[in-house]
Structure 1
């Protein structure tokens, strides 16, 4: 099959669903405390042979982390797919709108300047991410034609500005507070809980649901703005809605898990190769592939080094960089 041709048959989705299910079950057995397959299954169904320790590990520690990995991977991949299709820019990514920098500024202010009891770092990061989006929209406000390229450039500029402010604050902060923020920025699921699941899940479901409802308008944007206007699509309103939804999803993820880059940039490209560019297969394929990808990235982060966890952002950045170097190499080949 040729790249870019839609391959949205049910077989692909069934295969990805099976891989996701198997990955989830295997992931529950990975950790410092070794659990066998039967221990996991007994704990999941509440069997009388399941030990109290196994039930605690599965339901209180590993299950919320697993669900967060699935939601974070799916949310970032869907956000990247939506932004890339809406902007017709293959490099569009949720973090380009200054979300990471805004969240970092919020976390930095709380960790360095305020007592921890007053406000949580996660809440401050969430507010900071939304503040960054508000700045981007404020910069773009008043333009006669608000193009997505201008919004992207505004996001990059806001990101540099907020990052500079964070660095200035960290420069004068005590080492412990600075190290805490820096480690959080690298991204990790170690601090996730059932609250994280309850925060991220509605945002991801809302984005996926609305994107599927607006699938025809999203596909129309692939043609051109003029063609979309001819089909009755209000491109400015549509892009504003999609940007706000992706900002909400990314802000929730950043607030709970820190910075996990390249997922929203890399996964949609892989999905387009196998499923095509139209909305339904792209969105569903991105959700499944993103969830599977981050599950195994988290497993690798927990098991690669003994008694130490590698930040997820480090692994995703390495994999994403290699992926795009390979892509650039293939595009440079003649023919």
Structure 2
């Protein structure tokens, strides 16, 4: 227990370091001392103050909570379905949220900000409902992931069909958004995502023992007094809400929920409380550094962060498959 506490403390310090480092990167030429002065409220000029407080601080904070949320969603999906490859992206939640947000973007135009999270949530809820229904028909919880992959491709094709007939300017905006980007986030986005994240974490803390019971199998969990179906649906709904909120403001960011929980299990453990705390810290730090790379890799352009996470995630997915094959 002492070792786990030290590990979590080190991860917390690294998360703080990552956030501070993220404030130093950007197209505006600001030195570290200028950034520090602006944070203390003694910015030498108004432009520097605007860049730090209206661009960099919201971007780093949104990257932090978005990374935390995606990693926690992946951890909970993996524990509740007992599938180490479960991830919001592979479960169809991201594709469903993307479809809902795409429809809202193209139909509402400039008035989309208020409706975007709701549209993304409804799309994610639609996706997860289809996945659960398919798994119920098959009567096998192990088939949830395969159903999620199928639903993900289906909803992605519907999204592409809608974009094909959309107005060109709006379509280009949506396509760039679907790749994942933090270039347009603001503090209001941080407050919304942070609120949903807080509710999710508190709910998980309250139910972490019941979620741990699911790791023993449905029959064993039921014998311990856990309402398996109700708990699983609640967790799926929470993951859908959290992922949809993140997708609404940050676009499609895949595989964070796949990679981070696997790393945390090696460092801390598999039980829900440890896994969620570790995933939150590493996931937040990870997405901050991915955003730093996205802003800094090219001189006059910004790489969508979804491209980077998908590239890393696909390699990680193959690594897990090879490792699993060797163990078996």
Q: Deviations over 1:305-332 (max 9, x none)?
A: 0110000110001111222223333344
Q: How far apart, in 2, do the equivalents of 1:121 and 1:99 lie?
A: 20
Q: Deviations over 1:115-167 (max 9, x none)?
A: 514x4167346414423424543674695997544554544444333323222
Contact 2:19 2:60 in 1 (8 A): yes
Correspondence for 2:321? 328
1:192-203 alignment runs, 5 A limit: 192-203=185-196
Contact 1:126 1:254 in 2 (8 A): no
Q: Which runs of 5+ in 2 are unaligned?
A: none
Correspondence for 1:120? 112
Correspondence for 2:75? 81
Aligned mate of 1:216, from 199, 204, 209: 209
User: How many angstroms does 1:199 deviate by?
Assistant: 1.1
User: How many angstroms does 1:195 deviate by?
Assistant: 1.2
Correspondence for 1:103? 97
User: How many angstroms does 1:190 deviate by?
Assistant: 0.5
Correspondence for 1:91? 85
Is 1:68 aligned to residue 78 of structure 2? no
Correspondence for 1:38? 33
What TM-score, normalized to structure 1?
A: 0.89
Contact 1:7 1:276 in 2 (8 A): no
1:1-335 alignment runs, 5 A limit: 9-47=4-42, 50-112=44-106, 114=107, 116-117=109-110, 119-120=111-112, 123-124=115-116, 126-134=118-126, 136-137=128-129, 140=132, 148-149=141-142, 151-333=144-326
Contact 2:120 2:248 in 1 (8 A): no
Structure with the higher helix share, 1 or 2: 2
What TM-score, normalized to structure 2?
A: 0.91
User: How many angstroms does 1:53 deviate by?
Assistant: 2.7
Q: How far apart, in 2, do the equivalents of 1:331 and 1:187 lie?
A: 30
Contact 1:64 1:197 in 2 (8 A): yes
SS of equivalent to 1:188: coil
User: How many angstroms does 1:13 deviate by?
Assistant: 1.1
> Aligned pair count?
327
Q: How far apart, in 1, do the equivalents of 2:3 and 2:274 lie?
A: 6
Q: How far apart, in 1, do the equivalents of 2:19 and 2:165 lie?
A: 43
Q: How far apart, in 2, do the equivalents of 1:126 and 1:95 lie?
A: 19
Cα 1:182–1:135 shift into 2, 3 Å: closer
Q: How far apart, in 2, do the equivalents of 1:139 and 1:246 lie?
A: 14
SS of equivalent to 1:214: helix
Structure 1 runs, 4 residues or longer, greater than 6 Å off: none
User: How many angstroms does 1:106 deviate by?
Assistant: 2.8
Over aligned residue pairs, what C-alpha RMSD do you find? 2.5
Cα 1:145–1:67 shift into 2, 3 Å: same
Contact 2:259 2:316 in 1 (8 A): yes
Larger CA deviation: 66-75 vs 85-94: 85-94
Q: How far apart, in 2, do the equivalents of 1:135 and 1:262 lie?
A: 17
Q: How far apart, in 2, do the equivalents of 1:61 and 1:212 lie?
A: 33
Q: Which runs of 5+ in 1 are unaligned?
A: 1-5
Q: How far apart, in 2, do the equivalents of 1:254 and 1:70 lie?
A: 14
SS of equivalent to 1:236: helix
User: How many angstroms does 1:102 deviate by?
Assistant: 2.5
